């Protein structure tokens, strides 16, 4: 067995900060029990924004190589792993089983939970707006209201389905045929919260109670719950690190939400408008900023004054003011 571990450190003001870690482990073992030694390579890396594990097996008899990887950036809750057709052959089953054990979570599910459903349907319902003066993009997730309190599950994986194939085609930026086989991994630990039933509302009116986690927003209407917003780079944008909490101020106005979403290390933030009933999410086509371009500084977040949404715009000394009704009507027109 050969094991290589490399860590990179930076010293800042006497503090040692780990920037990246790399671990390469090579094992010689007869994986498929044909009395010929095969090679198993376990390649793990972890940086400040991305990381994961790539595992490779080399058939000792044929010298064929097969790999699976869960590497990705922390701004995305999901990973999509496509399995090569040849690896699905019965003769290579032992190799596939080893790769799955090394790169997939312990828990397998037959069906996705509602938070992952929000991300997937949101990605499939994403619409980029090139010529709208108010909105940059619209997301239209489709999740059902449920009577049970929403959950943040442990990490799990599911087999690729037809709907996920559509997502993986866009995610991987290439076409995938219907015979493709693979797995989708969901890493909910990035939500930085385990239970939702202990949260108190951050906003409410006579119809809705609004709750937030570090990276998500959900609603209670009567005795029913639903997701309204999740920070994920595939759908709404997200911070490079999940330890940088993204959901800041939330304002509830009738059936609409206005959400301040931080996306560090950017020095601007996003403003999203949500229609609670239609589930549509609109990303305003501006660059709200903490700095107004003058020595006087700027606003910490947006404000709603006299039925107008008001905020600093990056590099602009004059406040941006937009009538709320104009924003809501435009969102509902899509």
- Does residue 100 carry a pLDDT above 60? yes
3-state DSSP: the chain helix, strand, coil percent, rounded to 5?
15, 45, 40
Interatomic CA distance for residues 318 and 311, integer angstroms: 9
Kindly state whether residue 28 falls inside one of the protein's structural domains: yes
Last residue of a domain, one of 69, 104, 139: 104
| pLDDT at 191 (0 to 100) | 79
The token pair at 231 is 């920070």
Shared domain for 97 and 246, answered yes or no, is: no
pTM, full prediction? 0.86
Provide CB contacts within 8 A for 137, sequence distance 6+. 126, 127, 128, 129, 282, 283
Q: What torsion, rounded to 10 degrees, do the Cα atoms 170, 173, 176, 182 define? A: -80
The sheet with strand 224-230 has its strands ordered as 203-204, 209-213, 216-221, 224-230
Q: Is the pLDDT score of 238 beyond 80? A: yes
| Phi then psi dihedrals of residue 325, to 5 deg | -65, -35
Q: Which domain holds residue 23?
A: 2-104
Higher-confidence residue of 76 and 163: namely 76
Of 271 and 297, more confident: 271
Q: Identify whether residues 201 and 262 lie together within a single domain.
A: yes
Mean pLDDT of the chain: 88
**pLDDT of 168 over the 80 cut:** no
The answer to the question of residue 326 being in a domain is yes
Tell the residue number behind the tokens 């493709």, with chain if given: 180
Q: What is the pLDDT of residue 22?
A: 82
* 71 and 30 in a common domain: yes
Q: pLDDT band at residue 156, thresholds of 50, 70 and 90?
A: very high
The C-alpha atoms of residue 142 and residue 135 are separated, in whole angstroms, by: 20
Of 46, 71, 104, at which residue does a domain stop? Answer: 104
Kindly state whether residues 267 and 218 are assigned to the same domain. Answer: yes
R_g (Cα) of the chain, nearest Å: 23
Is 87 found in the same domain as 196? no
161 versus 148: the higher-pLDDT residue is 148
Same domain (yes/no): 136, 29: no
Residue 175 lies in a domain: no
> Are residues 85 and 137 both part of a single domain?
no
Residues 133, 100 share a domain = no
Predicted confidence at residue 6, as pLDDT, reads 45
Average pLDDT for 299-310: 94
Is residue 239 a contact partner of residue 267, using CB atoms and an 8 Å limit? no
pLDDT at residue 193, as a whole number = 76
Same domain, 233 and 283: yes
Co-location of 138 and 100 in the same domain: no
CA distance 179 to 98: 22
d(CA 253, CA 117): 26
> Is 111 within a domain?
no
167-171, 235-239, 321-325: which has the minimum mean pLDDT?
167-171
Tokens of 45: 């890396």
**DSSP class of residue 111?**
S
What's the pLDDT tens digit per position in 129-145?
Answer: 988 999 999 999 999 99
Strand partners, 281: 139, 274
Amino acid 13: pLDDT: 39
Q: Quick check: is 20 in a domain?
A: yes
pLDDT of residue 128: 95
- For residue 270, tell me if it sits in a domain: yes
Look at residue 17 and tell me whether its pLDDT is greater than 50.
no
| pLDDT band at 10; cut points 50, 70, 90 | very low
Are both 262 and 321 inside the same structural domain? yes
Does some domain include residue 228? yes
Given CA atoms 248, 249, 254, 257 in this order, what sign does their dihedral have?
Answer: negative
pLDDT of residue 317: 84
| Count of domains forming the chain | 2
Residue 6 Rama label (left phi>0; alpha psi -120 to 50; beta) = beta
Cα 313 to Cα 320: distance, rounded to the nearest angstrom: 7
> Does a structural domain hold residue 80?
yes
Label residue 192 by pLDDT band (50, 70, 90).
Answer: confident
Structure tokens at 139: 């997301």
Domain-ending residue, one of 37, 69, 104: 104
Q: Are residues 139 and 201 in the same domain?
A: yes
Torsion of CA 28, 22, 189, 81, to 10 degrees: -60
Give pLDDT, residue 12: 37
> Tell me, what's the pLDDT at 167?
59
Q: What share of the chain has pLDDT > 70, as a percent?
A: 85
């Amino acid at each position: 067995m050969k094991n290589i571990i490399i860590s990179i450190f930076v010293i800042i003001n006497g503090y040692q900060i780990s920037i990246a870690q790399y671990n390469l482990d090579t094992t010689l073992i007869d994986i498929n029990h044909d009395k010929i030694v095969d090679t198993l390579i376990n390649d793990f890396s972890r940086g400040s924004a991305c990381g994961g594990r790539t595992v490779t097996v080399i058939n000792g008899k044929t010298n064929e190589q097969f790999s699976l990887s869960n590497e990705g950036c922390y701004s995305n809750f999901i990973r999509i792993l496509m399995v090569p057709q040849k690896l699905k052959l019965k003769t290579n089953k032992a190799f596939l089983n080893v790769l799955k054990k090394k790169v997939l979570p312990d828990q397998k599910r037959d069906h996705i939970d509602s938070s992952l459903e929000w991300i997937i349907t949101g990605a499939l319902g994403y619409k980029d707006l090139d010529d709208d003066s108010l909105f940059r993009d619209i997301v239209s997730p489709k999740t059902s209201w449920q009577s049970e309190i929403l959950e943040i599950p442990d990490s799990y994986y599911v087999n690729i389905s037809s709907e996920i194939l559509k997502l993986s085609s866009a995610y991987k930026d290439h076409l995938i045929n219907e015979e493709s086989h693979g797995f989708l991994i969901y890493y909910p630990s990035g939500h930085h919260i385990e239970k939702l039933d202990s949260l108190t509302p951050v906003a409410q009116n006579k119809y809705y109670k609004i709750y937030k986690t570090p990276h998500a927003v959900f609603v209670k209407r009567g005795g029913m719950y639903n997701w309204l917003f999740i920070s994920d780079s595939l759908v709404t944008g997200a911070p490079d690190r999940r330890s940088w909490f993204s959901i800041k101020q939330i304002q509830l106005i009738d059936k609409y939400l206005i959400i301040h979403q931080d996306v560090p290390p950017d020095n601007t933030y996003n403003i999203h408008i949500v229609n609670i009933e239609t589930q549509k999410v609109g990303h305003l086509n501006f660059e709200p900023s903490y700095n107004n371009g003058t020595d006087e500084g700027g606003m910490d977040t947006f404000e709603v004054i006299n039925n107008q949404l008001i905020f600093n715009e990056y590099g602009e000394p004059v406040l941006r003011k937009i009538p709320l009704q104009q924003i809501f009507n435009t969102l509902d027109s899509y």
